[in-house]
Structure 1
């Protein structure tokens, strides 16, 4: 029984960036639809209690219509830290809101650090979020020995030749994996070895192999890039199972290296983590990015703080 000073908060778990074709489970988020804002301490406590990759706190703003609504959103992770940007939490929230309001088409999120981020309900259980597209990450011509040492220690039996370009983005360090004999998803990575790297996250990325004739003939989707994201300083668990916000740096990294696509064409990113996931990426005018993904609405629950 709850005490008079406690607060019981209903939530719903939503998996974002689910890949129905490959069976990728996506990344879970706990979404709290609230009548009024919580304090920072309350959100911090709730994020720690939930132990989900992200807890999203959402409060409706006045006005709007059946098709367009605005919300204030906060993202807090399982370490009790507020996140400045969270792609999977935003997609999870949009999918949940669209299931609550069947006529909803456009959602406007007012965030603490990222300004206003619009979201479109593209189809049932499929939505996008409009995020910043950062400047092209700056190549590090000669990565320092401590960075290379961390990478070599984290990936057993790796050698320096396995790593290609290294770049420093606005949020994360981007490292290209070049060993075609060892796929990104097959790597058993000791994430604690990455903790000395001073960055929000480490994006380990690779290009896909050429499609097989069978896959091409059957129309199997070919990703444009593979990605795994690690953040031992900021996340529990240390690997982000499917990270949306990392693409604000990763897509510009590839836009400067790969042939251009027609305007409005979608780039496809496949997360090679244990859970796996698919993200659609469309560069927009004005330095913005449409980050797209499918969600699955899961269990309901309550947490007492």
Structure 2
């Protein structure tokens, strides 16, 4: 049996029991985990995402304290995902703050390419992620079913766009407010779930223009085993370009208005990349025996 150090950290918040929890499992390169073990651990921890990290440019007993380059993979309780912002933020917080790594910059090799996280201002961490602009889609019967799942009815005023890289569907009714999004209770019928499967959806992003913030959102992903993702970093790689033309700006303050709530600062820094900034707090530390 092998022991692996594991943490739970809440991302996009500085308060316990808020933000988005992610598990972070330290997997030394001399004790690799199999594909089936990765899935089993993620299912056992049963959070929206579990991150597994392997040091790349250091070895030995202090590898996690000395490395600045890591391999990083993310798993929901049912599947591997190609990008997860909040688990990347949680991972960086664990490495820099809980493990006392002195690096000013961490880089991660992932399914979405190389991701970089830097120490930011006021305790924030700055993640550089690939941008994933959405595109308008035709309003088919499948889309109508999904919109009805969110609002309880289909509305002609609704805007629907799809990120082809992440398969995230953006749903926006210009008449909705922050409170409308926060109080929404989506109901995915079997027919709506099947419609999402036909579209290969990962998640639906419901969004509204803000007042105290630039925009608000919630994220629902029953197709990957997470009915709601409390605060989703990768969703903002889609939402920022969605709101860029509507608000005519490139820097945003955003809030995900789930019950756990989370705040993000988002900057479009180029045509290919976006910077998402936030805080994190650790809530659990232990050992996993496999």
Instruction: Give deviations 1:185-234, integer Å, cap 9, x for gaps.
Output: 0112224564232211111111024xxxxxxxxxxxx2111111111111
User: Which residues of 2 match residues 94-105 of structure 1 at below 5 A?
Assistant: 94-99=92-97, 100-101=99-100, 103-105=102-104
Structure 1 consecutive aligned stretches of length 4 or more whose deviation exceeds 6 Å: 64-68
Partner of 2:231: 242
Aligned match for 2:256, one of 271, 283, 290: 271
Q: Deviations over 1:160-196 (max 9, x none)?
A: 15x5211111221111033446521011222456423
Instruction: Show the counterpart of 2:202.
Output: 200
Q: Name the TM-score, length of structure 1 as normaliser.
A: 0.82
- Report matched runs for 1:222-233 at 5 Å: 222-233=212-223
Consecutive unaligned residues in structure 1, runs of 5 or more: 1-5, 210-221
User: What are the equivalent positions in structure 2 for 1:83-232 lying under 5 Å apart?
Assistant: 83-99=81-97, 100-101=99-100, 103-111=102-110, 113-123=111-121, 125-134=123-132, 136-140=133-137, 142-156=138-152, 158-161=153-156, 163-170=157-164, 171=166, 172-180=168-176, 183-192=180-189, 194-196=192-194, 197=196, 198=199, 199-209=201-211, 222-232=212-222
Q: Which residue of 1 aligns with 2:77?
A: 78
Q: Secondary structure at the match of 1:233?
A: helix
Q: Deviations over 1:40-91 (max 9, x none)?
A: 1211111111101111111111259989711111111111x11110000000
Instruction: Decide which moves more: 188-197 or 70-79.
Output: 188-197
Map 1:13-92 → 2, pairs under 5 A = 13-18=8-13, 25-36=18-29, 37-62=32-57, 69-79=68-78, 81-92=79-90
The answer to whether the 8 A contact 1:13-1:299 is kept is yes
**Contact 2:115-2:129 at 8 Å conserved across structures:** yes
RMSD (Å) for aligned C-alpha atoms = 2.5
Task: After superposing the two structures, state which structure 1 stretch, 23-32 or 268-277, moved more.
Answer: 23-32
- Cα deviation, residue 277, structure 1: 0.5
Q: 5+ unaligned residues in a row in structure 2: which ranges?
A: none
Q: How many residues align?
A: 275
Structure 1 or 2: more helix by fraction: 2
Equivalent residue number for residue 3 of structure 1: none
